[in-house]
Amino acid sequence: MVTRERPRPLRGRPRVSVVIPCYNYGHYLQDCVRGVLEQDGVDVDVLIVDDKSPDGSAEVARRIADGDPRVSLIAHGANAGHIATYNEGLAAVDGDYVVLLSADDLVTPGSFPRATALLQAHPEVVMVHGFARTFTDQPPPPRTAVRSWSVWPGAEWIDRVSRAGGNPVATPEVMLRTATMRQLGGYDPRVPHAGDFLMWLRAAALGGIGRVNGVDQAYYRVHGNNMHVQQFAGADTDLRQRHEAFEIFFAEDGHDLPETPRLRTAARLAVAREALVVACATFEHEGSPVDAALAERLVALAEEIYPESRDSRLRRRYGRLANRSAQGRSPLLPRGVTTFNKRVREHVEWRRWRRSGVESAVKLP
């Protein structure tokens, strides 16, 4: 059962190793590294791994490393891709704890001492996360008062995530024990778009998961080079890889968990439901362009993952929406109504996630 408790103070000065993979993000590097080096209460070392960026990122990284002995650089002679870059950096560091931080993201003041205090107080916890705020140009002022800690037994965290079907954790706010990272062996190249999610599942199979509540642990940058630019762009790839991450986990790491068959079915159901929700949403905004091909791929994915979805209310709703669109008719509800309903649902889910750290479970109608 999840426990919630008051935070305890950090003892000593644990060492945190931070791996910063970089590809064409040299203009963000200075701010990213500065936020790491300014963490109080812990000793930090930074390893920048530049993956043969053509924008001169390696030169920026080299200047930063030359100016501070805590910073080092690996500069690739040829592009290796993000998974290989992550794993090379993670294998090279040896602090007590490790953080993987993209060069375009930031950590908030006090993030590391807050996370290490929880890991220090709970030896059974292998991974800590918190809340990562999104931003575009300038990050907003962070919340800094810790309200509480939440600690889940790994099996319970896996259960809740499987029933929800989603990844409740972004990368910049995660801290792992370095010993755990060694045991996990790095990111899996079979799921390049869901490697972090598979990593969290595998970590939870080894121990507990902690969360620092009430504060902002990191900032996740939203810009033109990541997947948040278009509302549904890449949804089919994201959902398929999330499904594949679940399948790999239950086949290779989670087979000894209590009720593994039930969890596997719950995960398939949840991902299929999300695929159908997104497929319906592509038709629901009056006056917006409809990506019918994407919607069809999402429906096919849902039926492949969870065949029973063919008889669900969501699937029937999708059929009605697709037929109306093919006839040149408007959605079943005006755009303003669907937009309002969507915002209400998203706000409720956001508040629940911000409070608990795990999305609510979903059921296929």
How much is the pLDDT for 63? Answer: 98
pLDDT tops 50 at residue 363? no
Whether the per-residue pLDDT at 355 is higher than 70: the answer is no
User: Virtual CA dihedral for 327, 333, 336, 341, nearest 10 degrees?
Assistant: -130
Relative to beta strand 97-100, strand 15-22 is parallel
How many whole angstroms separate alpha carbon 145 and alpha carbon 143? 6
Q: What is the pLDDT of residue 324?
A: 86
Q: To which CATH superfamily is domain 15-221 assigned?
A: Spore Coat Polysaccharide Biosynthesis Protein SpsA; Chain A (3.90.550.10)
Instruction: Note the pLDDT of residue 289.
Output: 65
**Mean pLDDT score across all residues of the chain:** 88
- Residue 233's pLDDT is what? 56
Q: What is the tens place of the pLDDT at every residue in 47-83?
A: 999 999 999 999 999 999 999 999 999 999 999 999 9
Amino acid at 37: L
Confidence of residue 226 (pLDDT cuts 50, 70, 90): very low
**Mean pLDDT across 271-296:** 83
Which one has a higher pLDDT value, 29 or 167? Answer: 29
- Give the lowest-confidence range in 66-70, 130-134, 282-286, 294-298: 282-286
Give yes or no for residue 89 having a pLDDT over 60.
Answer: yes
DSSP 107-174: EPTTHHHHHHHHHHH-TTEEEEEEEEEEESSSPPPPP----EEEEE-HHHHHHHHHHH-S----STT-
Contacts (Cβ under 8 Å, ≥6 apart) of 240: 301
% of the chain with per-residue pLDDT over 70:
86
The CA distances from residue 92 to 46, 47, 49, in Å, are 11, 8, 10
Q: Please give the single-letter amino acid code of residue 104.
A: D
Query: Confidence class of residue 348 from pLDDT cuts 50, 70 and 90?
Result: very low
Better-scored residue on pLDDT, 58 or 347: 58
- State pLDDT tens for residues 133-191: 999 989 999 998 999 999 999 999 999 999 999 888 988 999 999 999 999 999 999 99
pLDDT at 256 > cutoff 80: yes
pLDDT for 326 equals 84
Choice between 288 and 353, residue whose per-residue pLDDT is larger = 288
Classify strands 97-100 and 125-135 as parallel, antiparallel or unpaired.
unpaired
pLDDT of residue 291: 83
> Where do we find the tokens 């080299």?
62
Q: Does pLDDT of 359 surpass 60?
A: no
Helices H / strands E in the chain, number of each: 12, 10
Round to whole Å and give the CA distance between 81 and 104: 17
Question: In the prediction, which pLDDT does 338 show?
Answer: 46
Task: Read off the DSSP letter of residue 332.
Answer: S
In this structure, is the dihedral angle defined by the CA atoms of residues 263, 264, 267 and 269, taken in order, positive or negative? negative
Q: What is the mean pLDDT of residues 197-202?
A: 97
Beta carbons within 8 Å of 172's beta carbon, 6+ residues apart: 99, 101, 102, 105, 106, 107, 132, 217, 218, 219, 220
Does the pTM of the predicted model rise above 0.95?
A: no
Which residue's structure tokens are 């290796």?
80
Taking a C-beta distance cutoff of 8 angstroms, is the pair 150, 211 a contact?
Answer: yes
Give residue 273's pLDDT: 95
Burial class (CB in 10 A: 0-12, 13-18, 19+), 249: buried
Task: Give the span between the Cα atoms of 176 and 57, in whole angstroms.
Answer: 27
Q: What confidence category does residue 14 fall into, taking pLDDT thresholds of 50, 70 and 90? A: very high
Spans of all domains in the chain: 15-221, 235-356
- How many CB atoms within 10 Å of residue 342? 13
